[in-house]
Amino acid sequence: MGAADFAFLIAESDQYFDWALAVAFVVVGSGIGFLIVWMLTRHTRRVAHEQAAELIEVARREAAVAAEETKQKAEVEIQEKRAELNREFDRREIESDVRLREIRAHEESLALLDYQLEQRQERLNRETAALKQARDAIRSLSKSVRKRLEGVSQLDAEEIRKQLREEVLLECQDEFRALRRATIEKSEQELQNDARRVLIASMQRIASRPNNDLTATIIQLPNEEMKGRIIGREGRNIKSFESATGVTLLIDESPQMVLLSSFDPVRREVARVALDGLVKDGRIHPASIEEYVKRAQDEIELVSTQAGEDAVTKLNINGLHPEIIKLLGRLKYRFSYNQNVLDHSVETAFLASLIASEIGLDPNVAKRAGLLHDIGKGVPGELEGSHATIGAEFIKRHGETPIVVNAVAAHHEEVKPETIYAGLVILADTISATRPGARADSMTGYIQRRGRLEKLALSIEGVQQAFAIQAGREIRVVVSPTEVTDDRAREIARVLRKRIETELQYPSTIKVTVIRESRFTETAT
């Protein structure tokens, strides 16, 4: 090989070496670039993952906040809807209560009308039967008169006089009975005078206080703001109070006062005491209402029991059962025609005792029967029957003697009196109830009754004047002597009596007096 060839080979080898070196550099650069790219890609991917995680966490937080806000809004809407539904329910409940009260009031008025219609129907039936009997009597009388007239021509003067006398006797039987009654009463005049003396002596020994008119229980309030507290939110306080006491609480525009209404005076007194305590306390809510009502019931129970014991101690009566004393005390809160029943019972006991002492009977038995005669008015109203029979059964169960039981049962003559003590209780009860000031009417009712009585008398033909006297217990009628005969005057008295009995409601009795007189005056000069 020559030098040229060797040089060519060397040159060729250098070229290949450069190319290989270049290739090696390219390969190494490519690896390094790949490594760099790979590391950059990995770093980018890690950063992307971190950013994605941060975005996801932010999105998750935002979603949680949005969900919480949505939940709160939904809860607020639900609460508003619930409050609105509760208000609507309470409003409808109040409306239903008002409607129920109106329906009950209508039912009571309808029941009263039914009772009045039944009474009128019975009265019409009695009048119809009486008219039928009178018509039959007139027909039979006309037949007998016709037969007698047919036989008049065959009778002599003595027989005619005899038949006329019999007819007059038949027609004047009422007058004969009245004459006989007057004759018998004359023979009993001394007994009546003696009885009058005993009664006057007994009544004069009793000093009784007059009764005040019982209207309604009114509670005075310290201010108008108290009415809102009593009503409470959505009326829950007043509904709780009425439910606990059984009393209707009326709140109107009257300044600083409310009205308690109930047919049961004991419940009304419990409500009054409880409401007074609540107003003084100032904290009025269902829990405090129940607490004060319970306190008031216990207080009224103690007061009524003490009132019964005071009455028994005042009369010096021994051996009464504790339940009888407890029931007697409840009469402290009951009134009959504005007369306190417990005071009336004590007064009746005193009167019966005094009368029994005057006529020689046992005053202790009479006193005991007089005190217990109205005890049936204190028995709860769910029992059926009159207060006389209910009271008699009650004291009989608690060991009272048959004499006292019969006196209590018979004091309104629903049961036949078996002893003279029953008659004493009837008499003492009548005196206590009818004495002046015992059972006073209201002024408006008294004036209206007198006006109706006078108008009823003036509506009869022939009546000139009518005067209601003696507190409406007597009506005096003046008739025209030229238009009305004596027989017609007697007929007017009878007609007016019947009309008063059928058309008016009045206590005790009303005496009818018809006056017909002629006056002739001359003056001598």
Q: Tell which residue, 354, 400, 353, has the closest CA to residue 376.
A: 400
pLDDT at 150: 59
At 55, is the secondary structure helix, strand, or coil? helix
Q: What share of the chain is helix, strand, coil (3-state, %, to 5)?
A: 70, 5, 20
Candidate from 160-169, 252-261, 387-396, 446-455 with smallest mean pLDDT: 160-169
Q: Look at residue 213 in the predicted model and tell me its pLDDT.
A: 40
pLDDT at 270 over 50: yes
Average pLDDT rounded to a whole number, residues 478-494: 88
**CA-CA distances (angstroms) from residue 50 to 45, 46, 54, 175, 364?**
9, 6, 6, 131, 111
Q: Produce one character per residue of 183-210: b if its CB has 16 or more CB atoms within 10 Å, e if not.
A: eeeeeeeeeeeeeeebbeebbeebebee
Q: Which residue has the higher pLDDT, 338 or 394?
A: 394
Binned at pLDDT 50, 70 and 90, residue 359 comes out as: confident
Find which of 10-14, 152-156, 512-516 is predicted with most confidence, using mean pLDDT: 512-516
Q: Domains in the chain, please, with CATH? A: 217-434 (3.30.1370.10), 443-515 (3.30.70.1350)
Q: What is the pLDDT of residue 337?
A: 61
* Alpha carbon of residue 372 to chain centroid: 25
Residue bearing the bigger pLDDT, 183 or 248: 248
Residue 77, pLDDT above cutoff 60: yes
Least confident of 79-93, 127-141, 295-309, 372-386: 372-386
Beginning with the edge strand found earlier in the chain, give each strand of the sheet holding 248-250 in spatial order.
Answer: 217-220, 257-261, 248-250
Burial of 86: CB neighbours in 10 Å, binned 0-12, 13-18, 19+: exposed
Residue 301: the pLDDT is 84
Q: What is the pLDDT of residue 216?
A: 59
- pLDDT at position 212: 43
Tokens of 323: 């339940």
Q: How buried is residue 355: exposed, middle or buried, by Cβ count under 10 Å (0-12/13-18/19+)?
A: buried
Do the Cβ atoms of 432 and 438 come closer than 8 Å?
yes
How confident is residue 215, by pLDDT bands cut at 50, 70 and 90? Answer: very low
State yes or no: pLDDT of 101 exceeds 80: yes
State pLDDT tens for residues 314-350.
Answer: 888 888 888 888 888 888 887 766 678 888 888 888 8
Q: Residue holding tokens 């609540």?
A: 278
What confidence tens digit (pLDDT) does each residue in 187-213 have?
Answer: 556 656 666 666 555 555 554 544 444
- Separation CA 424–CA 407 (nearest Å): 8
The β-bridge partners of 343 are none
Cα separation of 4 and 9, whole Å?
8
Q: Is 218 left (phi over 0), alpha (psi -120 to 50) or beta?
A: beta
User: What does the mean pLDDT of the chain come to?
Assistant: 79
Higher pLDDT, 147 or 392: 392
In this predicted structure, which of 105-109, 154-158, 250-254, 413-417 has the lowest mean pLDDT?
154-158
